Homo-oligomer: A and B are copies of this chain.
Amino acid sequence: MRTIFIGLAALALASSAAAQQQPAAPAPAALPAQPPVAPISAQMQRTIDQLREAGLSDERGYAIVGDLVAQIGPRISGSEQEARARDWAVTMLRANGFTNVHIETFPVPGWHWERQEATIVSPSHQPLVVAALGGSPSTPSGGLEAEIVRFPDLVSLQAAPESALRGKIAFVDEHMSVTQDASGYGAAVVKRGGCPRLAAPKGAVACMIRSVGTDTNRFAHQGSAGRAVAIPTASMSPADADTLDALLEHGAVRVHLDIQAGNRENGQSGNVIADIRGREKPDEIVLLAAHLDSWDLGQGAIDDGAGVAIVTAAARLINALPRHPRRTIRLLIAGSEEPGGLGGDAYGRAHASEHHVIAAESDLGADRVYRFSSGFSDEALPYARAFQRALAPLGVVPGDNRADGGTDLGGVKANGTPVVDLQQDASRYFNYHHTANDTMAAIDPEQLRQNIAAYAVFAYMAAESDWVFGSSAPAAAAAH
C-alpha cells in the first residue's frame, strides 16, 4: 500500500511539473530524401482515370470467380478437377478476347488424400475435425492410436527429449496472429512442416497441429507440410485443439488418427497462358499471375479464384481500350501453386529466354489493395513512386522496395524479373484460407472491384510506358 501511495504521489508531482514547465517539443527529425516521381503524359493520366473508374464498376470479375466456383469447385494439384479448370480457363480467356491462349503442362507429385479422420478415444470419445496436410504419408491401414503430447510451440518441441515423444503424437498448439500484411502467416506456417521434421527423429508416430488460421470456426485448415514428410501429419480446427487442451489439463489423452493419402502415378498439372499483344514491343512482357489449383475442402473462391478473376478482369479492361499498350500483357494462370509453386517454377523454366519487364501476382484473397511495394533497382524508384501516385485515389499507400512477388512468380523472379506487390489487406483472409469455408460468401464484391481497378492501372502503366525497372534482387544462379 505504501509503495502505491508513493507512486501515486510521484506521478502527481511529475504531472504538476509538466503542466507548469511546458517544455518545447523536440524538433522533428528530417524526413529522408524521396526519389522524384516519374512524369506521365496527360493522355496516360486520362487512361489511368478511365481504367480506375471502369475497375470500380466492373462486374465481370465477380462473375468469373462465381463461374469457376460453380462449374468446377475444388481443384487440387494434379487432379482431374484441376484439368477441367484449365479447360474452363481456356474457354473463359478466349471468350474475353485474349490471344495466345494455351495450356503448358508439367509433371507433379499429385498428392491427395482419401481419408482424414481422427477421434479422441480416451478419456472420452468424440470425433475431431482434421485435415491431412499436403505431403503427409498414410497411417497404417485402419489408423494408429497413441497418446497426445502437447507443445505450445515448435521451440518447445525442438527442446523436448526423445523420451517425451517416442510412440506418441506430437501436438503443436501454437496460435496465429491476425496481421494486415500477412506476416502472421509466415510465422505460423512453419509448424506445418516443422512438426514432422522435428518430431519424427524423436520417434513420434504422427503430428497434429492447431490449424494455421485466425478464425474460431470448426474448420481444419489444409496446406502443404512439404515434399518428404516423414510421419502422418494433420491439422485440426481451433475448437478441437481447445478440446484437447481442456482434456489434457486432467491427464493423458489418446487419439486415433487415420490418414490415407499419397501421390498420383504420372501426375500432371499445367499453366494457362493468355496475352494482350503489345502494339509496339510485343516481346516485352508485363506478367500478371494468379493460380488455378486449390485445396479441396473448400471451393477455392478466395484462394485463388479471386486472383484469377482480378488479373483477368483487369487485363480485359485494358484489352477494351481503343488501342493495345506498347508492351504485351500476359496472364499466367498457374497450376499447382499449393504444393509449393510448381506452376510458377515450370513457367520460369519454359520462358527463361523471354523478356519479362515486370511481374505481379494476386493471391491473397479479394480484400482491398492497401499498399504498393516495389522490388526495383535504385534508379527505377521514380517509377515506383509514379505507380504509388496513380494508385493513391484507390486508397493505396506507398510501401517499401522489398516486394516479394509471391509464389507464382518464383520462376521469373529467379530469372531476374523485377516484381511488385499490390498488397491486399490480409486481416480476415486467414479466417477462410484453405478451409471448407473458402466459398463466394468470403468475397466482398466491392473490394474485389477495387483490386481490379488497381491491377488495371498498374498493368496499363507498366505496359504503355518504356520504363526499365531493374530488380532489387539479383537473378538466381539456377531456377529454385
Contact = CB atoms under 8 A, between A and B. Distances in A.
B73 A126 contact: yes
A123 to B, nearest CB: 7
Given A125-B81, A299-B239, A218 B73 contact: no
Interface string A66-83: 110111111000000100
Contacts of A298: 218
Contacts of A70: 124, 243, 246-247
Q: Give the size range of A's interface with the partner.
A: 35 or more
A436 interface: yes
Contacts of A84: 124-125
Nearest to A442: B216
B124 A72 contact: yes
Interface string A236-252: 00110011001100000
Contacts of A218: 219, 298, 435-437, 439
Contacts of A435: 218
Contacts of A441: 216-217, 238-239, 242
A392 B217 CA distance: 34
A403 interface: no
A74, A81, A124, most chain B CB atoms within 10 A: A124
Contacts of A437: 217-218, 239
B439 A74 contact: no
Nearest to A439: B239
A129 interface: yes
A436 B219 CA distance: 9
A70 B242 CA distance: 8
A36 to B, nearest CB: 47
Interface string A435-464: 111011100000000000000000000000
A71 B440 contact: no
A214 to B, nearest CB: 12
B74 A126 contact: yes
Contact of A124 (B66, B71, B123, B243): B71
A123 B73 CA distance: 12
Interface in A48-78: 66-67, 69-74
Contacts of A247: 70-71
Interface string A214-227: 00111100000000
Contacts of A242: 439-441
Nearest to A435: B218
What 8 pairs across the A-B complex have the smallest Cβ distances? A73-B126, A239-B439, A70-B246, A216-B441, A218-B436, A218-B437, A70-B243, A71-B124
Given A129-B436, A218-B436, 13 more contacts: A72-B124, A73-B126, A216-B439, A217-B437, A218-B219, A218-B298, A218-B435, A218-B439, A239-B299, A239-B439, A239-B440, A239-B441, A242-B439
16 contacts: A66-B246, A67-B246, A69-B243, A70-B247, A71-B123, A71-B124, A71-B247, A73-B124, A73-B127, A73-B243, A81-B125, A81-B126, A216-B441, A218-B439, A239-B441, A242-B441
